[in-house]
Each structure stands twice: as structure tokens, then as C-alpha cells.
Amino acid sequence: MSSTEAPSEAGQDFIRDIIRRDLDSGAAEGVVTRFPPEPNGYLHIGHAKSICLNFGVAAEFGGRCNLRFDDTNPTKEEQEFIDGIIEDVRWLGFDWGARVRYASDYFEQLYEWAVHLIRAGRAYVDDQSQEEMRASRGTLTEPGRNSPWRDRTAEENIDLLVRMRAGEFPDGARVLRAKIDMAAGNINLRDPVLYRILHARHPRTGTDWCIYPSYDFAHGQSDAIEGVTHSLCTLEFADHRPLYDWLIEHLPVPSRPRQYEFARLNLTHTLLSKRVLTELVRGGHVDGWDDPRMPTLSGYRRRGVPPEAIRDFVKRIGVARADSMVDVAMLEASIRETLNLTAERRMVVLNPLKVVIENYPEGETEQLDAVNNPSNPDAGTRPVTFSREIYVERDDFMEDPPKKFFRLAPGREVRLRYAYFVTCREVIRDADGEVVELRCTYDPETRGGNTPPDGRKVKGTIHWVSAADSVRAEVRLYEPLFTDPEPEAGGFAAAINPASRQTLVDCRLEPAIVQENSDDAMQFERLGYFVRDPVSTSDHPVFNRTVGLRDSWAKVAGK
Ligand code: ATP
Ligand code: MG
């Protein structure tokens, strides 16, 4: 795997070095950061990296981090996404103090600053169409051409901006542009757009505005208003930094934030782009933003991933200056390690095969002790019911097994976890020849699964549930949404893994699982970690597999 530069110890990376340097030199008096999502979708695990970094450094250096919505594009933004993002950041374990902030809180101030730029001769209203502007912008090797409207007087510009705001012109008729340099090597400095006309209802300001600031005009100024000291963003904004600095320099802003860029998270078998995730949802390729196959925080939550595991993963990958690809197996390792410590063990049979224990008295049952969590003795034990009829996993039986198969087969003896040694005596088939039942005998001297007085050993231990009191349930197993380790974002629909979800409808749970009524992830012994799905009811329990016990995917993919 090609990980990012691993931090030498927790909290060591170039961003923290910069902050330490700024605090030591007095360039910054404290640390204020922000996490600035655009509410045009739900958060994904790439955002978790940014959240942990922004909130993490603020906490480490005794500062604060704001949650600020970058809500400047009303055609794509929705209240549902605002609410979802707030829930997800909180779930991940972070707190932003008294209130959530919004770029839209600053629309009036931003407008005043636009007027300020016009008066200073640093902005103008351009009547060119989008196509004309594109055509005159130039290329990486050729300078752009000045707009014919570039030299309007301040009075004329202000008059037009006022009328743009008043709604006199249709969408796209005019824009306000910064007057910087159409020959600048950095295209972002070739008179970038500051305001555009958009007759669209905004989730927060309703119809108050029909002109909206661009990302570049809103972002740095919002940072300055909030006293942000270190504005941390991903590498694609590096080319915007000269514009960020230009605006801060030419506006009477109350503070001077600085922007720093870090590498975004890329994960194998995963596409981290809100555009792609939106299309997966809209195209019906998944069941919604919180589909357990989605790399969204709501998807991971529904899948049973604890927030600690995501924070642990983000800490392990570190923060670097160069882009790289992180193996999704690393995320799974964090999930397994976190759940191994906390998840209680239970017994569940996914593909049941009935076993009748012929020498066990009919109608009798007994309670045996099962360990709740071998990594935490305090979790204690629970009783499980044993009886004459039980279910075992179909995969744990082979009629004609290879030598190394240590589970059930005709004439072979295995340990039933926490119960007894049993020996398979007979195989019952239905009319089609399919195995429908095994007839076994048990050794009463092996109670609790212990070695009998004669010292006889068995190599295999299998899990089971008592037939009579087990509860039927649906269990959903997941594989990556993309089999390709580095799926292409364009045309991704064709690459969706058709086997990404497998639904098993006749699974048998030990009854404690439904009686406890818990939303905590559990380990189903030998099968992986599982959590109850929100659609689950007492009549129809439904569980999701969070992750298997081993990295079975790497094997399948031949890595
Ligand atoms: P996407 O590329 O998925 O559409 P975005 O960058 O447009 O995401 P925003 O809501 O603007 O989404 O992002 C909020 C913050 O999260 C930004 O500061 C952005 O840099 C950061 N961010 C987005 N994607 C990642 C990622 N994959 N890794 C790290 N940080 C990210
Ligand atoms: Mg963005």
C-alpha cells in the first residue's frame, strides 16, 4: 500500500509544524480553524480527514474550530444536507461551540466589500456572456484579453451592481469581476468572478438575494470575519491562494487569515466525490446517501462503523503535502481493531443446516455459559440454550472433505462452541438429493466444550444456535462498490460491483441479540462484526455486516 508520509508520532505533520512556528514567532496569537462544507451532499470519509485535522489542531493548540457552511450556490444546496452534515460532524465527535456559521450570514458584509473594491477601481461589472468570457480568458500559454467593459467608471459599476442586486437582470446577464490582470500567469487572477446573478431560492436567505458571491470571494473573507488564523484546505485550492491573498490585502477585513493546502484522501475501491455520490443516489445504484456501501459518514454509521475507528484511521494516515492512494484495507483494520475491543460476541448461523443430536433427551434443554468478550473479562458471560435440535452453518459440513477440513463430515467429531463435542453419524437428504439434516451424537463428558477424561482432542470448533428458540433474521453482507482498486470517476456506473450486496433471508440468531434491542455493533462469532439496520423490526430483524474478521477481499482480488 502506498500510504501518506506517516507521522512520526501523533500530532506531527507539516500543518502542525507551521502552527507551532506561527505561535512561537508571534505571527499568530492563537489558533482558529474552520471546517467549511458546501451543503450540496452528505459528508464522505475524505471530509472526515479535513474535520479531524481542523478540529484536531484547534483542540491541541487550545484554539477553536468553526463549522461553517459554504452556502453560496443555492441551486445545489439543501436544508437536508445542512442537517445531515451537522449530525455527521457531531457523530464523529466534534463540537463547534455556541452556533453553526454560514457564509450566508455574511452576504451583506460581502456586498459592502464588493462596493469597496469598485470604489477602489478593483472591480467592475462585465456584460460579456459566459462564452465570451471563456474565450477571452486565454490559456496556460497565452494571456487573456481585457473585457470591453473593464474600464467603466466606479459610478456606473455601482449603479449596475445595485440593479443586479435589485433583480433587474436575468441570470447570466452580467457578473462582477475583480480587476486584477488578464495576463497573469495564474488564470485565477485573470479578473475572477466575484458575483453572479442567480434567481434562486436560498435555503437560509430565501429570496433576499438574486446575486451570490463566488467561492473565492466568500471563502477568505468569511475566514477573516471569523478570525480564522489557519485556513486549511485541499491541494486543488493551491492555485487559488494568490487570489485569496489578493482579496485579503485589498479589503478592510478585520483579520488576516492564511491558507495552507494538504493532500486530499483517496481510498482504493472508492470514489470520494460528491458529484459521483450524488449520481449513485439519484441513479438508484444505491439505496440512498446512507446505504451501507456508501463511503459517506452516514453510510459507515449505518454499517456499524464506530466514530472512534474513523478517527483512528485518519490519525494513522497522517497529513501530507502530496496526493496518494490509501488502501481501504487500512480503514477496515482500524474498524476491526476498534470493534475487537468493544463488540460483544454472539452466535448466529447465516446459512442454517439442521442437526439432531440423537442421544440428547427429547424435550430437554440446558443453559451453558458463553463468553461475551474475550478481550474484556468485565463483559462477563451470558447463558445460551442447548437442546436436541440445533442449527450449524452449511459451510461447516462437507460430505467428502479434503484432509485439512476440520469441521463436520460423516464420522468426524467437532466441538460446538461453549457446548459439547459432537460426531456426525448420518446425513439426511431430501427428494432432490440435497442435504437437509445431520444426525449426530454428543459426548456428555465434554460439557462446556471441554476435553473429555480420555484426553481426546478435536481440531475444529464451530458455532451453532438452538433450533427452537433461535430467531429468524435477514443479514446483509457487503463487498466494495467498485471491484477496480482505482475506479474511474467518469463512466463509473458500468463499473459498479453487482455483488456489492448479498442478502441472506433465513439466518438464525441467538435470542439474546433481539432481546437486548441494541444498536451497538456485535461480533457474530467466526463471521465478522454486525449491527442492526434501522429498517429492522422485532418481527423482521435485519443486520448489516460491518466488516469480516479477516481481510477476505484482498484474497479475492488476488492482491
Ligand atoms: P467533493 O470533491 O467530494 O465534491 P468538496 O471539496 O467539493 O468535495 P466541500 O464541501 O467543499 O466538498 O469540502 C469541505 C472541506 O472538505 C474542504 O475544505 C475540502 O478541501 C475538504 N475535503 C473534501 N474532500 C476531501 C478529501 N477527499 N480529503 C480531504 N479533505 C477533503
Ligand atoms: Mg467544494
Domain ranges of the chain: 3-262, 274-343+473-556, 348-463
Instruction: Find the helix or strand (DSSP H, E) in which 315 lies.
Output: helix 307-317
Strand-pair category, 522-524 with 344-346? parallel
Which distant-in-sequence residues (6+ apart) come within 8 Å of 267 by Cβ? 45, 46, 295, 325, 326, 327, 328, 331
Q: Confirm whether 264 is a catalytic residue.
A: yes
Nearest CA among 210, 213, 172, 211 for reference residue 192:
213
CA 530 vs CA 333, 344, 497: distances in Å: 15, 10, 21
Amino acid at 419: A
Residue 38 CA to ligand 2 center (angstroms) comes to: 6
Which distant-in-sequence residues (6+ apart) come within 8 Å of 514 by Cβ? 471, 473, 538, 541
Instruction: Find the helix or strand (DSSP H, E) in which 22 lies.
Output: helix 14-25
Burial of 213 (0-12, 13-18, 19+ CB in 10 A): buried
Residue 369 CA to ligand 1 center (angstroms) comes to: 49
Which distant-in-sequence residues (6+ apart) come within 8 Å of 413 by Cβ? 421, 422, 423, 456, 458
Give dist(CA 363, CA 284) in Å, integer. Answer: 50
Which atom belonging to ligand 1 lies closest to the Cα atom of 41? 10
CA 396 vs CA 63, 405, 429, 468: distances in Å: 56, 9, 17, 20
CB-ligand 1 contact for 295 (6 Å cutoff): no
**Nearest ligand, measured from the Cα of 326:** 1
CATH H superfamily, domain 348-463: Ribosomal Protein L25; Chain P (2.40.240.10)
What residues does 462 pair with on adjacent strands? 416
Give dist(CA 545, CA 391) in Å, integer. Answer: 20
**Residue keyed to cell 458471560:** 381
Ligand 1 pocket test, candidate residues 47, 54, 76, 82, most atoms within 8 A of CB: 47
**Residue keyed to cell 456426525:** 424
CB-ligand 1 contact for 50 (6 Å cutoff): yes
Nine cell digits for residue 382: 451470558
Amino acid at 122: R
- pLDDT, position 3: 38
Segments of the chain with pLDDT less than 70: 1-11, 552-559
Which distant-in-sequence residues (6+ apart) come within 8 Å of 12 by Cβ? none
- pLDDT, position 491: 85
Which atom belonging to ligand 1 lies closest to the Cα atom of 50? 30
Instruction: Find the helix or strand (DSSP H, E) in which 387 lies.
Output: strand 381-387
- pLDDT, position 71: 97
Could you check whether 274-343+473-556 and 348-463 share the same CATH topology? yes
Residue 272 CA to ligand 2 center (angstroms) comes to: 12
CB-ligand 1 contact for 37 (6 Å cutoff): yes
Give dist(CA 477, CA 528) in Å, integer. Answer: 10
CB-ligand 1 contact for 192 (6 Å cutoff): no
Which atom belonging to ligand 1 lies closest to the Cα atom of 266? 27
Query: Which CATH code of 3.40.50.620, 3.30.200.20, 3.90.1300.10, 2.40.340.10 fits the domain covering 3-262?
Result: 3.40.50.620
DSSP structural state of residue 352: E
- Catalytic one of 274, 302, 415, 532: 274
What φ, ψ does residue 278 adopt, rounded to 5°?
Answer: -60, -45
- pLDDT, position 553: 53
Q: Confirm whether 274 is a catalytic residue.
A: yes
Which distant-in-sequence residues (6+ apart) come within 8 Å of 307 by Cβ? 91, 92, 93, 301
Q: Confirm whether 77 is a catalytic residue.
A: no
- pLDDT, position 98: 85
Name which residue sits closest to atom 16 of ligand 1, judged by CA. Answer: 47
Task: Give the predicted TM-score (pTM) of the model.
Answer: 0.94
Name which residue sits closest to atom 3 of ligand 1, judged by CA. Answer: 273
CB-ligand 1 contact for 303 (6 Å cutoff): no
**Nearest ligand, measured from the Cα of 47:** 1
CB atoms within 10 A of CB 542: 17
Nine cell digits for residue 103: 457564509
Do 66 and 34 form a contact (C-beta atoms < 8 A)? yes
DSSP structural state of residue 402: -
Give dist(CA 429, CA 441) in Å, integer. Answer: 18
Architecture of the 274-343+473-556 domain: Beta Barrel (2.40)
How many residues in the chain? Answer: 559
Which atom belonging to ligand 1 lies closest to the Cα atom of 234? 20
Ligand 1 pocket test, candidate residues 264, 265, 279, most atoms within 8 A of CB: 264
3 state SS of 476: strand
Nine cell digits for residue 400: 467428502
CB-ligand 1 contact for 299 (6 Å cutoff): no
CB-ligand 1 contact for 273 (6 Å cutoff): yes
Name which residue sits closest to atom 18 of ligand 1, judged by CA. Answer: 233
Give dist(CA 472, CA 539) in Å, integer. Answer: 9
- pLDDT, tens digit (0-9, with 9 covering 90-100), for 174-183: 999 999 999 9
**Nearest ligand, measured from the Cα of 273:** 1
Name which residue sits closest to atom 23 of ligand 1, judged by CA. Answer: 47
- pLDDT, tens digit (0-9, with 9 covering 90-100), for 304-352: 999 999 999 999 999 999 988 999 999 999 999 999 999 999 999 999 9
- pLDDT, position 552: 60
Which atom belonging to ligand 1 lies closest to the Cα atom of 232? 18
Nearest CA among 67, 65, 60 for reference residue 37:
67
